Chains A and B, each alone.
Chain A
């Protein structure tokens, strides 16, 4: 059993959980994830490790409440326990001194980007962070990211903060920087990572994305997390989750993620929370 030490909603629909998981905390590295089960009957769902404290033996997760498991997690209070937290899974993000690195982060990816940006900074990179959200009130962890970045820029869909629009504006934003970008990291929903990759491709800047297909075991046993990268089938849990965004077959990934959509809506409807159903619909419609 793993104890929840704290749980709170930090912006609408995004919950910050601190969980006691010493074995995971001891080994965690930027870019890795855990698989959790919220209860005995629960599904196994992957969540990025957004921070950890090796001494305290705790990990921090940022959970976007979009479905049955994330909904249950969000409802858990301090001292509650959950039966499974296994990890750290997946490969750590490759961190070298590349020069100037652009970190693009949106929704729960803002959390998972934080340790990556920190490690990049520690390696001596110049780090420019771009935070993306639907609206300014959905931005979080800005102070934390500022502390590990040389510059922080915002993009909001409604223009309430920084640039208006989405990551499709990347080329002009980069032009405005007046400095060459050597590498891009993008963490966020699949659409955002796809758009980031599409926008950076003509600029010829290598763009690493952290893929989020459906998973079960997270150890390479079930094969459900397979994605096509550079024409070859790869298992995101053991070969990834980081891949070169220019090589990913995005259409296939988006399609495969929808496999259980009709089924996932059942428990949402039966739990009577139409706010969630609405969010699921929105995410799927893009």
Chain B
């Protein structure tokens, strides 16, 4: 077997093949194609296998990064998968959507020289390699403890809790409001960034371990948390941040003004781009403006483009402050999304039929840093820009859905509508009820939701083990 440690530092980060922009503009297939085996091995061999791996310290779930990379370098992919899955049950998903440049890769010792290891791409490579082998190995399961746990919501936080607890021998049932499991991974993040087949595969894996999946069940409506507590020993709430914000500016209820959730759900969950084969309609707009600068805004703008629109992002700060992942900003730029920086919408203008036809914006400049440390955008007096549009997508954020808080007496809800929990354990103010993910933190990331799920699962397991 080849020596995994080359003599000389190789700072040449291996590129991952992508669909060319002029092709992918017109399809919903995945943009990034993944490393071929040889490239993955080459990239893995660049890792210098640090004794004190700084990359691991920055990983929210502490994956043994040098460990799995070494396996790839030695072409022991099975070994790599098992190291990876030790800490991360959804590697094919994290390898695609985690903000690695802000986490592990940012901490890689080679970052100073501009040659940080492509940890995310390698993670994705292993997960995809495993999937390509066909059968997923089912781990040996412990005997049943007879304890029952209900998990609310089918997003990444919940999937992690369910996986961890079933592997500890507890019975787990997930209740999901929509007709498909996966949370934002299914209804929000588009196919071209995260193929739905991957999410479905992970969900089916949990099912094969014995997790019971109940879709079309709204906790707080179909049954309350208190009802569920009568049947289950513990409950985890991972209901996410689903309630869209609007800007409360004139014209916001005109036809053609969408929330990002509506726009993306029609496309992803309901497969509206295949209308009329799928029965949920979407509009093929000519000019779309997306408001916001995060991953959600990028996803909307790139979706609009794929539906044939001229697509524009309107963001009130500058490119530097865009909260979206760099890779996705670059993808959007390559594909032809137009960016209007330092621009703040102040009014939507409608036509005689109640459809939005233009959007009026205030031009901004960057002033002093604000509480978040970012320079605050301030209006430039009299500088108004108007864009003609036939649709606007509002992607400025979401807050937790109030449904569970409103129907669960004694559950402490924070100022932002979030469920308040003990940070270390995820324990809520209600006995036998834990919570984690976006419903606790507000809109965050997949890996943080999974991290919260893992912590809660540990605490729930401790509690269940203490029961007679």
Residues on A close to B: CB < 8 A? 23-24, 27, 37, 41-44, 68-69, 83-89, 216-224, 226-228, 233, 238, 249, 251-252, 255-256, 258-260, 263-264, 266-267, 270
A252-B253, A259-B255 as given contacts; A87 in contact with B222, CB under 8 Å: yes
Q: Do most interface residues of chain B lie in helix, strand or loop, or is the interface mixed?
A: loop
The answer to whether the Cβ of B205 comes within 8 Å of any Cβ in the partner chain is: no
Contact assessment for A41 and B279 in the assembled complex, using a CB-CB cutoff below 8 Å: yes
A224 to chain B: which residues have CB within 8 Å? 258-259, 262
Query: Among B252, B253, B278, B401, which residue has its beta carbon within 8 angstroms of that of A41?
Result: B278
* Cα–Cα distance between A150 and B283 once the two chains are bound (Å): 48
A23-B217, A69-B279, A223-B262 as given contacts; A255 in contact with B243, CB under 8 Å: no
B178 to chain A: which residues have CB within 8 Å? 217
Contact assessment for B179 and A223 in the assembled complex, using a CB-CB cutoff below 8 Å: no
**Known interface pairs A43-B270, A223-B258; 4 further A-B residue pairs with C-beta atoms within 8 A, sorted by A's residue number:** A43-B281, A217-B178, A222-B265, A266-B275
Contact assessment for A220 and B242 in the assembled complex, using a CB-CB cutoff below 8 Å: yes
Chain B contact patch, size range: 35 or more
B319 to chain A: which residues have CB within 8 Å? none
A27 to chain B: which residues have CB within 8 Å? 221-223
* Cα–Cα distance between A279 and B91 once the two chains are bound (Å): 51
Contact assessment for B177 and A219 in the assembled complex, using a CB-CB cutoff below 8 Å: yes
Which of A249, A258, A263 has the most CB atoms of chain B within a 10 A radius of its CB?
A263
Contact assessment for A263 and B283 in the assembled complex, using a CB-CB cutoff below 8 Å: yes
Which of A44, A223, A224, A249 has the most CB atoms of chain B within a 10 A radius of its CB?
A223
Contact assessment for B244 and A216 in the assembled complex, using a CB-CB cutoff below 8 Å: no
Question: How many residue pairs bridge A and B at CB < 8 Å?
Answer: 122
* Cα–Cα distance between A119 and B154 once the two chains are bound (Å): 36
Query: Among A23, A88, A222, A252, which residue has its beta carbon within 8 angstroms of that of B261?
Result: A222
Q: How would residues 215 to 232 of chain B score, 1 for a CB under 8 Å from any chain A CB and 0 otherwise? A: 111100111000000000
A238-B402, A263-B281 as given contacts; A223 in contact with B259, CB under 8 Å: yes
B458 to chain A: which residues have CB within 8 Å? none
Restricting to B18-77, which residues have a CB under 8 Å from any CB of A? none
Residues on B close to A: CB < 8 A? 177-179, 215-218, 221-223, 242-244, 246, 248, 252-253, 255-256, 258-259, 261-262, 265-266, 270-271, 275-283, 353-354, 401-403
* Cα–Cα distance between A67 and B383 once the two chains are bound (Å): 47
Which of B252, B275, B279 has the most CB atoms of chain A within a 10 A radius of its CB?
B279
Contact assessment for B276 and A222 in the assembled complex, using a CB-CB cutoff below 8 Å: no
Contact assessment for B242 and A89 in the assembled complex, using a CB-CB cutoff below 8 Å: no
Contact assessment for B277 and A233 in the assembled complex, using a CB-CB cutoff below 8 Å: no
A83 to chain B: which residues have CB within 8 Å? 179
* Cα–Cα distance between A226 and B178 once the two chains are bound (Å): 19
Rank and list the top 4 A-B pairs by shortest CB-CB distance, nearest first.
A263-B281, A255-B354, A223-B259, A221-B242
A27-B222, A86-B216 as given contacts; A252 in contact with B276, CB under 8 Å: no
Min CB gap B413→A, angstroms:
15
Query: Among A87, A216, A249, A266, which residue has its beta carbon within 8 angstroms of that of B218?
Result: A87
**Quick one: closest B residue to A257, CB to CB?**
B255
B275 to chain A: which residues have CB within 8 Å? 263, 266
Min CB gap A12→B, angstroms:
24
Contact assessment for A222 and B279 in the assembled complex, using a CB-CB cutoff below 8 Å: no
* Cα–Cα distance between A84 and B222 once the two chains are bound (Å): 13
A-B contact list, 9 entries, CB within 8 Å = A43-B281, A44-B179, A86-B177, A87-B218, A89-B221, A221-B244, A221-B401, A223-B259, A238-B402
A24 to chain B: which residues have CB within 8 Å? 222
* Cα–Cα distance between A68 and B222 once the two chains are bound (Å): 27
Query: Among B223, B253, B266, B276, which residue has its beta carbon within 8 angstroms of that of A23?
Result: B223
* Cα–Cα distance between A217 and B265 once the two chains are bound (Å): 9
* Cα–Cα distance between A87 and B217 once the two chains are bound (Å): 7
**Quick one: closest A residue to B263, CB to CB?**
A222
Contact assessment for A86 and B218 in the assembled complex, using a CB-CB cutoff below 8 Å: yes
B177 to chain A: which residues have CB within 8 Å? 86, 217, 219
Contact assessment for B221 and A87 in the assembled complex, using a CB-CB cutoff below 8 Å: yes
Which of B223, B243, B246 has the most CB atoms of chain A within a 10 A radius of its CB?
B243
A27-B222, A256-B255, A263-B283 as given contacts; A222 in contact with B246, CB under 8 Å: no
A83-B179, A86-B216 as given contacts; A223 in contact with B281, CB under 8 Å: no
**Quick one: closest A residue to B179, CB to CB?**
A84
Min CB gap A1→B, angstroms:
10
Contact assessment for A43 and B280 in the assembled complex, using a CB-CB cutoff below 8 Å: yes
Contact assessment for B179 and A226 in the assembled complex, using a CB-CB cutoff below 8 Å: no
Min CB gap A70→B, angstroms:
11
A217-B265, A263-B283 as given contacts; A86 in contact with B222, CB under 8 Å: yes
